[in-house]
Structure 1
């Protein structure tokens, strides 16, 4: 763990990176090649700069009352005013881990982080919960639920799992600290113990349900089966010291009585877990990120598959699709790849599906929709988080992407909180917009590649270790 002071060495590295960044920003135009100075920025310094800028989304850009992550930030200002105070619970869980990275990297002092975490935990203690689970969205000023959709106005167990993943990492970081830090860890432990995971089995079924509402009860009727982004929910539900699910819920629900185990090979890479939306080429790349910010896939396996191997294959298949570029989209290549759920070009889906003959022509208007981009649903939209958050799985493939994005695309996709959410060279579409769930994995997964910091921290949790053992996981050292 770090001391409370920020090392002069780290400050020097960060400051040097910022000087280069500022110099480049002043000399290059959107989409233009960078100056010579940009190429002088070492890989290590560039990674630090990307981490710093993206961390700021959760630090400087946080909702002020709650301290949590805003659902979105549109720097073009084109979104409803009441959204500015809407926070996302899952994205905030990612943000908690990003702030820990900020402490370790010397971006902020440990005491500053402690104060922010105390504010966040205080807010979460009084915010709306439904059998211990938080909703997807909260009003950051009042702590009241903001419906995500018509019937989604209660507990969201998946978003809660993402939040708890971050909370447990914070607990581990501070549990052996000074008195104030120990108190924070104890308060987090109480929140963790109050999540009633078993309630979300809908009366004892061997599956976890995503939603429950006091108004609509089980109307959403979304039983979660694998493989997708939700694995951390089942692991935490089994790990709970107070309301744990039985192993049968994992094996019969998530693993579908073993049907989750497959061997599907594409481009020479084999998926060992069944990706529902596209068993052959895999789902959006965030499936290899969200559950794996804290849960360490290195050497992790159970009776169904090896999770590191599956995530690496998922990444490389997604990349190779973009390199092959069967749709001949402008800008795709070895230094520009990565398909995941993100903002998207309005009208692109209809055009690709042949429902309209009119090609989208959005230019820089900033108009957006949202889409689950993946090889089987490729709309010509690249999301920087897709490749950048895959850094641990294919670092030699990801670093050229970071350099290309920063040095060549520059200010067209680079802003105060890191790379913007998505872009399309095909449609000349470069919205200046951010989403918390896409920004959060970037600094965390880059750090996991560099030091394994968040992975090591989360996996030290005794409850998590017991939960993994209970479900039959093995970790190859």
Structure 2
């Protein structure tokens, strides 16, 4: 499960020329932050509602924990819990759940993390020094096996908590408690400890072996982690963390002219931070020099991902202008098999993205969350793709889209590790993944009416982090 975070260090740059050459020339002008979005069609609302039901039907109401995946029996993902804390208010606003129930689920979640045992023991705890383990037992809430104390997954959890603290503004004792706990739990994180004497924040820590050597630098989903570490009111990292984060940027640029962007192959790296932070119109030093913001960067990355699938250099089946989207997701399993005259590798859960970009991998597996998580960036291509996904046999089910599909994997003589296979249409995943369900519904809410962004713009933690990182302009300039 850590594969999606082993980026940049071993990334191949050999196909950089291809990545530049395949960029879609018809990238439209960016949408103005003040321009009203085009209303979503009715079918998209059905996708959102089904996706919400994943969280509603799988949450443990006692502690608010959400499974990493379903229907395969699973541990809880703290990242998925961060999404759930954000989804409950969205569901209230859409009329999918009663406010009292959403409040109670939120409060149960925060009360659990408030009292969850912390310490440096290898078992019997949920976290250490204000951070939490990547995976927790769904019932006990304790560390699952030897999973890492995760800085980025704790960030996703914390962003959900900050949103809850900002959205639940009522005067009732329950909503006051949500605000108090949401902020207090976030502020307990000892970010300076996680910096471990270096400019960058480590990816994780194990009680058995200490800090993971790799840290958050370069362009990827770790942007939110660095910003939260800078914005902490109690235990912030030292100055220079953002400059250390940006230091590897020169090797991340791809494209030319209007397609030039900071590249990271899996699209989740262009989406996760944007689910809670509105990057439209605000720029750090690098983006002031580039002449565009990180929102625009994600829009260009979305088009580049689609353009790569249209070019389809690996000649996979099914890739097209309406069936595209490479990110971290489930796959049919680990195989080396013949395909169209050569031997190809297929993978189980793995980060995927265009060849020639950092963290490249392409085994023919497409994930709906890759495209739908980019809805605010490029609605003109995402909406059509969402409709096309609904027509893929076996992909659209009870809780929206299962995690992924691979039209090229039609090997009836192979034993699958997960999912199902059809000799004509290929492999389809069995499970829904909580971390991939979240972007679908949260990004749709941001596209509709800035639902999450407008709350998070008022977060002192987010504002401090952005300002310490050197961002200015846009909504940051407003009082």
TM tier, smaller: 0.7 to 0.9
- Cα distance in 1 for residues equivalent to 2:274 and 2:54: 20
SS of 2:309's partner is: helix
Cα pair distance change 1:358/1:186, threshold 3 Å: closer
- Cα distance in 2 for residues equivalent to 1:113 and 1:385: 24
Answer whether contact 2:322 2:385 (CA < 8 A) is retained: yes
Query: How many residues matched?
Result: 402
Give the deviation of 1:65 after TM superposition. 3.7
- Within-5 A mapping of 1:376-395: 376=355, 377-395=361-379
- Cα distance in 1 for residues equivalent to 2:408 and 2:55: 31
Cα pair distance change 1:351/1:455, threshold 3 Å: farther
Deviations 1:381-409 (A, max 9, x none): 11000001110111010111111122x22
- Cα distance in 2 for residues equivalent to 1:375 and 1:315: 11
Give the deviation of 1:120 after TM superposition. 0.8
Answer whether contact 2:77 2:135 (CA < 8 A) is retained: yes
Cα pair distance change 1:326/1:267, threshold 3 Å: farther
Partner residue, 1:337:
324
- Within-5 A mapping of 1:64-463: 64-74=61-71, 79=72, 83-84=73-74, 86-127=75-116, 128-147=126-145, 149=147, 152=148, 155-202=149-196, 204-218=197-211, 220-252=212-244, 254-256=245-247, 259-260=249-250, 263-265=253-255, 269-271=259-261, 273=262, 275=263, 282-305=264-287, 306-347=293-334, 357=343, 369-376=348-355, 377-406=361-390, 408-409=391-392, 412-427=394-409, 428-463=426-461
Give 5+ residue unaligned stretches, structure 1.
1-41, 276-281, 361-367
Answer whether contact 1:415 1:432 (CA < 8 A) is retained: no
- Cα distance in 1 for residues equivalent to 2:369 and 2:146: 23
Answer whether contact 1:93 1:163 (CA < 8 A) is retained: yes
CA RMSD of aligned residues (A): 2.3
Give the deviation of 1:268 after TM superposition. 5.5
- Cα distance in 2 for residues equivalent to 1:99 and 1:319: 31
Q: TM-score, normalised by structure 1?
A: 0.79
SS of 1:429's partner is: strand
- Cα distance in 2 for residues equivalent to 1:352 and 1:269: 32
Answer whether contact 2:336 2:343 (CA < 8 A) is retained: no
Give 5+ residue unaligned stretches, structure 2.
1-38, 117-125, 288-292, 356-360, 410-425
Deviations 1:333-385 (A, max 9, x none): 1111100010012245676799x84887xxxxxxx711211111221111000
Give the deviation of 1:261 after TM superposition. 8.0
Deviations 1:303-361 (A, max 9, x none): 1122112111111000111112222322211111100010012245676799x84887x
Answer whether contact 2:216 2:226 (CA < 8 A) is retained: no
Partner residue, 1:50:
47
- Cα distance in 2 for residues equivalent to 1:429 and 1:136: 28
Q: TM-score, normalised by structure 2?
A: 0.79
Cα pair distance change 1:68/1:323, threshold 3 Å: same
Give the deviation of 1:456 after TM superposition. 1.1
Give the deviation of 1:132 after TM superposition. 0.6
Deviations 1:157-187 (A, max 9, x none): 1110010011100000013443320111101
Q: Give 1 or 2: higher helix fraction.
A: 1
Give the deviation of 1:98 after TM superposition. 1.9
- Cα distance in 1 for residues equivalent to 2:450 and 2:135: 30
Deviations 1:196-234 (A, max 9, x none): 1111011x321111212333222x222221211111011
Give the deviation of 1:296 after TM superposition. 1.0
Give the deviation of 1:443 after TM superposition. 0.3
SS of 1:342's partner is: coil
